[in-house]
Amino acid sequence: MHDHAPSLVRAAGPSYFPIALVARMPYAMMVVGVLTLVVAGRDSLAFGGLNSAVVGLGAACVGPLLGAAADRFGQRRVLLVSGLASATALGLMAWVVYSPLPAAAVLAVAFLVGASAPQIAPMSRSRLVQIIGARIAPGRRSRTFDSTMAYESAADELVFIVGPFVVGILGTTLDPWAPVAGAAVLTLVFVTAFALHPSALAAAGRDEDALPPAPVRDLFRPAVLAVVVGIFGVGLFFGAMLTSLTSFMADHGRPASAGLVYGVMGIGSAALALGVALFPSSFSLRARWLVFGATMLAGAALLPNVSSVAAMCAVLLLIGCGIGPTMVTQYSLGALRSPVGRSATVMTILGSAVIVGQSLASAVTGELADRFGTSTALFVPIAAAGVVVLAGMANRVLSRPVPPRDPARPDLELTPTRPVLTSS
């Protein structure tokens, strides 16, 4: 009966996925690009780091508001406005750093860079979930949803590996302002293309026939907050791990290699994230969170005992095998628990929670490394992984009981207005 129902690629359009992938690249280039630019223009590593943190702060403060606006007015309008504002802010950043204006002006523009950053990744997730509910045959929705969340997480990790690499190439071969200018051009071209893509109509905001959006208080339900805290823990882990690893590599005389070694974690993470789509439906989301969160924690517990770079790579590979599936699971739960008409809001809140956690843990871990050394700093990732596991335990308690499984029905039903999980 559903033999002729479209696949997600056909439903979204074959050009959707490459456009959405490149459109999220500027977001991955902004923080490192601003750091490179400010260090070169103002000759201060500390001031460069402060500006990078302010970029993250701007994105965290305004990101959820952009998501709420997209739920209310549709993604197309919000992305066109934020894309133009972002490209303008990036151009302004390239100018103000070399201008005679004081440090406060540079910080103000850095905040604008983060605040105007188009929230492509969460809006892509929200858009695809709505397409799955509207266009995919009911019997295939569960598997399609799992595959989509896995792909989206892997795509995020890919651009956050490639983005800093592109910044490094442009900054060294051309000029320190080139990465920021390049991000502005990519934003104008690909964010605009993403906004104008026909798939945006699937997430065009509520109309007269749609259900009214759920009240804002539904965003603060315990089941939603458990996911926010869990993904905040992942953000804490990212910040703590990169900062403590930088200290570890400096102790071994190779501080410049910290990013390369950190990338090892992304190998296992991306591979297992993509593999989530192959998990049986009997392996529930709440169980996945606990299993892979525990894998993160077990790997992190080994960090204080690591003495060589090779051993560190092995431990990071293990930790990555836990991080990828954990993030996929958290984003899946976020999508499934989004109140009616609030999916873009929830997705941007989750993305912002990662940034806030990363910024906070970077600052705390850096301070501990400076004062007490690498051995102390390496305990912070353990605490961060502990937050992930504790939130997973809370999620298990908050998940509603699983009804007896009917093999004739899919374990996941998605409607255009609200996703419903029957096996969380």
Cβ atoms 243, 362 nearer than 8 A = yes
226/231 Cα distance (integer angstroms): 9
Residue 163 located in a structural domain: no
Output the tens digit of pLDDT for each of the chain's 424 residues. 444 557 888 878 888 999 999 998 888 788 778 877 887 888 876 787 788 788 888 988 888 888 888 888 888 889 999 999 999 999 999 999 999 999 999 999 999 998 998 888 888 888 888 888 777 788 888 788 878 877 887 787 777 767 767 777 787 788 888 888 999 999 999 999 999 998 887 655 444 345 566 776 777 789 889 999 999 999 899 888 888 888 888 888 876 677 678 778 877 787 787 777 778 878 888 899 999 999 999 999 999 999 899 999 999 999 989 988 898 889 888 888 878 777 778 888 888 888 888 878 877 887 788 788 889 999 999 999 999 999 999 999 987 654 443 333 334 444 434 444 434 5
- Whether residues 139 and 228 share a domain: the answer is no
E-assigned strand segments in 340-401: none
- Whether residues 129 and 269 share a domain: the answer is no
pTM over 0.95: no
- Whether residues 390 and 245 share a domain: the answer is yes
pLDDT in tens, 142-187: 788 878 877 887 787 777 767 767 777 787 788 888 888 999 999 9
308/326 Cα distance (integer angstroms): 27
Residue 344 located in a structural domain: yes
- Whether residues 379 and 350 share a domain: the answer is yes
Residue 140 located in a structural domain: yes
- Whether residues 185 and 120 share a domain: the answer is yes
- Whether residues 259 and 388 share a domain: the answer is yes
Residue 311 located in a structural domain: yes
330/332 Cα distance (integer angstroms): 5
**Total domains, the chain:** 2
Tokens of 328: 């996929």
Cβ atoms 184, 362 nearer than 8 A = no
- Whether residues 313 and 201 share a domain: the answer is no
Residues 6+ apart with CB under 8 A from 341: 71, 206, 210, 211, 212, 213, 214, 417
Residue 10 located in a structural domain: no
Q: Domain containing 55: what range?
A: 15-146+173-207
Cβ atoms 210, 341 nearer than 8 A = yes
CATH number at residue 334: 1.20.1250.20
pLDDT in tens, 267-326: 778 778 777 777 887 888 889 999 999 999 999 999 999 989 999 999 999 998 998 889
